[in-house]
């Protein structure tokens, strides 16, 4: 083979090599593009699962992206006041659950009261809110939350949203909180407030809490923030076996008690009075 033929042979070999490289690269790109990849929808991307409307299947919406985000400036305000509140009003009164103590320290109570009352937000008493309702004393909120024994997978039903403060405290611990408010204006205000504060795992509905939220039942925990003379039967039915309920019962104008209700694995109900209290009355069907 002469020199000219050798040069031509090398050109052909190099050409074949580069052609093979191009084919392999193209094939690899095609594989990457056509490979199967699971579709992932974050809660914030799911238009059917906004911060205050229950998703079609909330149980499948859990995870880090479905937790309160704490980005609102209120969480960074008055931190020292919350620390004192927890130390003096709550921990000193024998509330011990670390999750409850942490939640009470995180949630900015001043964001849940009318502007005219915000200077008193961390004082040791209930405060008036819109529509002649009240936001409960911090200690009572902590006590009731601890009684539920919430965990990170708990699904909670609240009867009486009010300002939304109790729902926010529960949402710091539990996976999901479903809350019902019979006063339309309060429900709307609480819904907007909770959404603005970043509570993606709280779902607000305007309606009569007597009937609960059967579409989302059963619940690991149920909390009532308005006093009824009797515990509504639908709430007992929607409590999961092994679940816990705390609710004020008694006369709107007389004695009231926090009543702790447990349901064992066989569905047997046990009730016990744990503390005298004073709550606004539950209205609607329960009054009939």
Which among 98, 101, 99, 97 is positioned nearest to 89, based on CA atoms? 101
| DSSP secondary structure, 214-281, as one string | GGG--EEEEEE-SBBSS--HHHHHHEEEEEEEEEEEE-TTS-EEEEEEEE-TT--EEEEEEEEE--PB
Q: Give 136's DSSP letter.
A: P
Cis, bond preceding 218 (omega within 30 deg of 0):
yes
Question: For residues 211 and 285, is the Cβ–Cβ distance under 8 A?
Answer: yes
In degrees and rounded to multiples of 5, residue 160 shows phi and psi of 100, 80
List 44, 136, 251, 272, catalytic entry: 136
- Our answer to whether residue 116 is catalytic in this structure is no
Cα(139)–Cα(172) distance, integer angstroms: 17
Cα(251)–Cα(230) distance, integer angstroms: 9
What residues are labeled active site?
136
């Amino acid at each position: 083979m002469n020199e000219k033929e050798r040069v031509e042979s090398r050109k052909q070999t190099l050409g074949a090599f580069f052609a093979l490289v191009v084919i392999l690269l193209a094939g690899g790109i095609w594989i990457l593009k056509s490979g199967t990849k699971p579709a992932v929808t974050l809660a914030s991307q799911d238009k059917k699962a906004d911060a205050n409307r229950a998703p079609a299947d909330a149980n499948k919406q859990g995870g880090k992206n479905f937790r309160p985000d704490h980005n609102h400036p209120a969480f960074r305000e008055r931190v020292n006041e919350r620390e004192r509140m927890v130390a003096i009003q709550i921990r000193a009164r024998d509330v011990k659950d670390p999750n409850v103590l942490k939640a009470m320290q995180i949630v900015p109570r001043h964001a849940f009261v009318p502007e005219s009352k915000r200077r008193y937000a961390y004082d040791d008493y209930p405060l008036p809110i819109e529509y002649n309702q009240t936001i409960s004393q911090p200690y009572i909120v902590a006590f009731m939350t601890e009684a539920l024994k919430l965990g990170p997978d708990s699904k909670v039903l609240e009867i009486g949203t009010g300002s939304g403060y109790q729902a926010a405290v529960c949402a710091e611990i539990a996976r999901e909180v479903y809350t019902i408010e019979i006063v339309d204006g309060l429900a709307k205000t609480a819904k907007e407030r909770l959404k603005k504060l970043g509570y993606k795992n709280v779902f607000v509905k305007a309606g009569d809490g007597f009937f609960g939220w059967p579409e989302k039942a059963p619940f690991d925990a149920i909390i009532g923030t308005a006093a009824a003379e009797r515990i509504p039967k639908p709430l007992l039915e929607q409590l999961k076996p092994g679940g816990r309920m705390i609710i004020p019962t008694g006369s709107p104008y007389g004695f009231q008690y926090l009543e702790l209700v447990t349901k064992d694995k066989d569905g047997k109900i046990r009730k016990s009075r744990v503390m005298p209290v004073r709550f606004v009355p539950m209205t609607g069907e329960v009054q009939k």
